[in-house]
Amino acid sequence: MRDPQNYLPETASQTAGPYVHIGLVPSDTGIKIYDHELGRDIAGPNAKGERIRVQGRLIDGNGAALKDGLIEVWQANAAGVYAHPESSGAVEEGFRGWGRVIADFDSGAWFFETVKPGAGPGRSGARQAPHISLWIVARGINIGLNTRLYFDDEGAANDADPVLGRIDPPHRRDTLIATRDDSGDTPVYRFDIRLQGDRETVFFDI
């Protein structure tokens, strides 16, 4: 089972399927088992920084919205620190930086509420622009898709971001930039994810 260097091979991925909600967000399909469902509160009440809402749709190669997708979110706090021992610094009590959301069963729209992350360290002393890492699974997706959301009001930081800088041709970088809308009480960032075809979102092999 091992390769000649004695490393174990990674377990193969399989699709999360159409009923992923049963396991990961059971109350959304009417199953009341857990007292405490995970992934509902990304930032917690103590987190500093600007409260924002992120919303969008997952769109397939025919232009149709997925109504069975699930997205997990991973981000730093407003100071650019992750809730993890390998990130230098401390986060506010209750700040998790992780969440999971599903597309609405009827419309396909999804949203989450959080705080806007701060810039953080990159590789070899570089700085990364503020971003949120996303992981997308659904029926028809055989291995989870990794992408990043950046913010359109961080133009200078985005221009200097080493990850965005890797994307060629450069116009594809725009698929990772969420659009701010200040017309309501809470700032909203719109971020549609196109799985395939025209203006296909950039996905990463991390």
* Positions 113 through 142 that interact with other proteins (CB under 8 A): 120-125, 128, 131, 133, 135, 137-142
CB under 8 A: which stretch of 92-100, 108-116, 151-159, 181-189 binds other proteins?
92-100
- Outline where DSSP puts E strands in 138-173: 145-151
183 counts as binding other proteins under rule CB under 8 A:
no
The burial of 150, by beta-carbon neighbours within 10 Å (0-12 exposed, 13-18 middle, 19 or more buried), is given as buried
* Positions 151 through 180 that interact with other proteins (CB under 8 A): 163, 166-167, 172
Taking the least distance from each CB to other proteins, the nearer of 78 and 188 is: 78
Question: DSSP character for 56?
Answer: E
* 111-136 residues labelled b (16+ CB within 10 A) or e (exposed): ebbbbbbebbeeeeeeebbbbbbbeb
* Positions 14 through 73 that interact with other proteins (CB under 8 A): 14-24, 26, 29-31, 33-36, 38, 60-62, 64, 66, 68, 72
Q: How far apart are CA 96 and CA 75, in angstroms?
A: 9
Taking the least distance from each CB to other proteins, the nearer of 61 and 186 is: 61
Q: Tell the smallest beta-carbon distance from residue 169 to other proteins (Å).
A: 10
User: Could you count the other beta carbons within 10 Å of the beta carbon of residue 139?
Assistant: 14
**CA dihedral defined by 11, 29, 66, 102, rounded to 10 degrees?**
-70
Q: Tell the smallest beta-carbon distance from residue 69 to other proteins (Å).
A: 9
Taking the least distance from each CB to other proteins, the nearer of 4 and 9 is: 9
Q: Tell the smallest beta-carbon distance from residue 47 to other proteins (Å).
A: 15
Taking the least distance from each CB to other proteins, the nearer of 126 and 186 is: 126
